[in-house]
Amino acid sequence: MDNTVMMILGSALIVGAVVALFFVLRSYKSTGGKKFKIDFKGQERYYENAKDLYRPGERVRLIYGLVATDTRYTFMLDGSELNCDYDDDKGYIVSFVMPAHDVSLECLTKNLLAVDDQED
């Protein structure tokens, strides 16, 4: 690569970092640096790496490791269903961007064997 291309790429990287910093600082200023809480509905012990407070705009990534093969898991954030990824080694990966208010995160479970028994 010649020097001109390197200078253009370097400049683009610097501009991108400045723009990202601007959005982070704007979010911080609009909330006064306040952090917000996740209400885990008494289930926080099932989530690896759960923290008490999160900043608005922060990417929340939680691992729900208590997984049974005969159970259906539905994760609800403020009453809306979240689409979660599943990792065979870790469990469910619950992720979302923290809004500028407290939220409620709930894991609803349904035993599939019990559902099958009731349908007979």
User: Total structural domains in the chain?
Assistant: 2
Same domain (yes/no): 19, 41: no
The model scores a pTM over 0.75: no
The model's pLDDT over 5-60, given as tens digits with 9 standing for 90+, comes to 888 888 888 988 888 877 767 766 655 678 999 999 989 999 998 998 999 999 99
Same domain (yes/no): 26, 39: no
Domain containing residue 19: 1-31
Same domain (yes/no): 59, 26: no
Same domain (yes/no): 42, 92: yes
User: What proportions of the chain, in percent to the nearest 5, are helix, strand and coil?
Assistant: 35, 35, 30
Same domain (yes/no): 3, 52: no
Distances (CA, A) of 15 to 1, 3, 8, 21, 24: 21, 18, 11, 10, 14
* Average confidence (pLDDT) over 83-109: 93
Same domain (yes/no): 4, 57: no
Query: Which 8-state DSSP code applies to residue 83?
Result: P
Token match 């995160």: residue?
105
The model's pLDDT over 64-86, given as tens digits with 9 standing for 90+, comes to 987 888 889 999 999 999 999 99
Same domain (yes/no): 12, 63: no
